[in-house]
Amino acid sequence: MPTPSAIPAASRPNVTPLTWVLGGLLLVNMIMVGVQGWFGLEWLLYPSAISLLAVFGIVLFVGGRVSRLFVWLTIAGVIITLLVIDEPGPVIWDGIKRGLFFQGFMASVFTLQEAALRSRMLQRIGLYLIGQPIQRRSIFVMLGTQVMAVMMNLGSLILIGTIATANKRDGEPPDAAQRQVALSSVRGFAPSSMWSPLAVPPIFVGTLLPGVNMAHVMPQAMLIAALMLLSAGVFTYLGGRGSATSTDMTGLPRVALPWASFAKLALMITLIFAAIKFASVTLSLSIATVVTLLIPLTSLIWLAVQCRGRLNDVVTGPIRNIIGVRLPQQASETTVFVAAGLLGPMVLAMVPFDAITGFFMANHVSPQIIAIVVFLATVGLSLVGVNAILTVTVAIALVGDPAAIGMEPTFYALVLLSAWSLCAQFSPFTATTIVAGRLFGVSPITLSFRWNGAYLAFCVLSGVVVIVAHGILF
């Protein structure tokens, strides 16, 4: 039976000088973006921009297929902007600033993932969740992954998957219990992206969508995420009916409820959210800037506690792993968001908003029809490999100001966030399903369509019904 200390907290693959450079650039950029956002030091944007371009160059050599595609799209966007726009300089510079913002924000969140993956507290919680009878286990894993995703991002999937498959032999197909855990972890993870201040989608939509107030969006997004979890719970529970319920299906005995660990986790999340809100109000800073500053500090304190205050151990262990492993591993995912941030202002500058708005008005296209098309297109295109961040960027650019076509910006933001959450859960090309598939030894396509197909159809149909109902009632 694996114990918390036996579960690897952070993998240490061989690193190359290039990965050290990449990790160092991302770390330095995170610091510069945070300091610039706090003190308004515009001159820091110039070295940050040079660092961003260097990261793009490295990703072209060592990044994944999707990240390289987005880098080339960005290069093409810059060239087209130079050729088409009368004053391209301000547009490109605005894109660079947005790209820097996303790069710093995501790097800061990934530092917290390092501390969380090393936490014995979270490992004990994971062992407890996995050690339940199958139906209870499915619900507990779903809810636990949702909560842990706030702090760990994809690390929550890695933690749960590592524990659940600890006794699984290589090449062995997942059993019924592992299948349920895989589905529960994916279904629990995705909705957190709608409401967590440490998730990218709310920050991305709130930054690019005109007229939206995320303070109004987030509570409603949390309600939608809760409804998603409720429906997922029903599907997960029904899926576990008739399966064996013994606790030895995962090779793990049932463990005592770790009250102290749950209490510490709840306290940590509460303190982090409260500190973000307090700093944002007190310092008059955006939530994203506060996260970029506060989360690395939180991670450093947490790592120091884990290392019992031994500074040398902090530097030679987790800090070294953050620079040499954690940030380079996430560079491809980070680059996709950075590139989309760069492309946003360029696309916006080239879209004829007046013509589009005039077309919508002249043809009496209702806001609900537009919302349904955007919702279905975002989810549908993700199923064939089109990343949601690109679809959402185009959807925001095409609609422009939602209020101009009679659509509430808050409503449109919720449509985009809901669609994005479904993409994370059901697309076989997202990091969510790829990581879960690798951990549980199943193809992402099987996980997304064969195992999760009925729930996919239910979620898409429910989304359309809700949009139509909103149009009728409001």
- pLDDT recorded at residue 11: 44
- pLDDT recorded at residue 208: 81
Residue range 271-325, pLDDT digits in tens: 988 898 898 888 888 888 888 889 999 999 999 999 988 989 999 999 999 999 8
- Within 10 A of 256 (CB to CB), how many other CB atoms are there? 8
The answer to whether residue 425 is domain-embedded is no
Output phi, psi for 71, to 5 deg. Answer: -65, -45
Structure tokens at 470: 């909103």
Structure tokens at 98: 């947005």
Q: How confident is the model at residue 7 (pLDDT cuts 50, 70, 90)?
A: very low
The answer to whether residue 456 is domain-embedded is no
Domain count of the fold of the chain: 1
Task: Report whether pLDDT(75) > 90.
Answer: yes
**Residues 6 or more apart from 132 whose CB is under 8 A from it?**
140, 247, 254
- pLDDT recorded at residue 10: 42
**Residues 6 or more apart from 447 whose CB is under 8 A from it?**
182, 183, 186, 428, 433, 436, 437, 440
The answer to whether residue 25 is domain-embedded is yes
The answer to whether residue 127 is domain-embedded is yes
- pLDDT recorded at residue 198: 83
3-state class (DSSP) for residue 397 = helix
Share of the chain above pLDDT 70, in %: 92
Q: How confident is the model at residue 169 (pLDDT cuts 50, 70, 90)?
A: low
Q: How confident is the model at residue 166 (pLDDT cuts 50, 70, 90)?
A: low
Task: Report whether pLDDT(232) > 80.
Answer: yes
The average confidence (pLDDT) of the chain is 85
Residue range 101-135, pLDDT digits in tens: 889 988 988 888 888 888 888 888 888 888 877 66
Q: Provide mean pLDDT across the span 372-398.
A: 89
Residue 141 and residue 143: Cα distance in Å, rounded? 6
Residue range 181-231, pLDDT digits in tens: 889 999 999 999 998 888 889 988 988 888 888 888 989 999 999 999 999
Residue range 344-378, pLDDT digits in tens: 788 778 877 677 777 877 888 889 999 999 999 99
- pLDDT recorded at residue 57: 94
Q: Provide mean pLDDT across the span 257-282.
A: 89
- pLDDT recorded at residue 284: 85
The answer to whether residue 374 is domain-embedded is no
Q: Which residue has the higher pLDDT, 41 or 134?
A: 41
Task: Report whether pLDDT(329) > 50.
Answer: yes
- pLDDT recorded at residue 92: 94
Residue 288 and residue 297: Cα distance in Å, rounded? 15
Q: Which of 342, 344, 96 is nearest to 210 (CA)?
A: 344
The answer to whether residue 126 is domain-embedded is yes
The answer to whether residue 441 is domain-embedded is no
In terms of residue numbers, what domain contains 194?
4-232+244-351
The answer to whether residue 403 is domain-embedded is no
- pLDDT recorded at residue 324: 92
**Helix-helix angle 453-473:214-240, to 10 degrees:** 140
- pLDDT recorded at residue 6: 37
Residue range 142-156, pLDDT digits in tens: 888 988 888 777 778
Task: Report whether pLDDT(251) > 60.
Answer: no
- pLDDT recorded at residue 363: 82
- pLDDT recorded at residue 116: 85
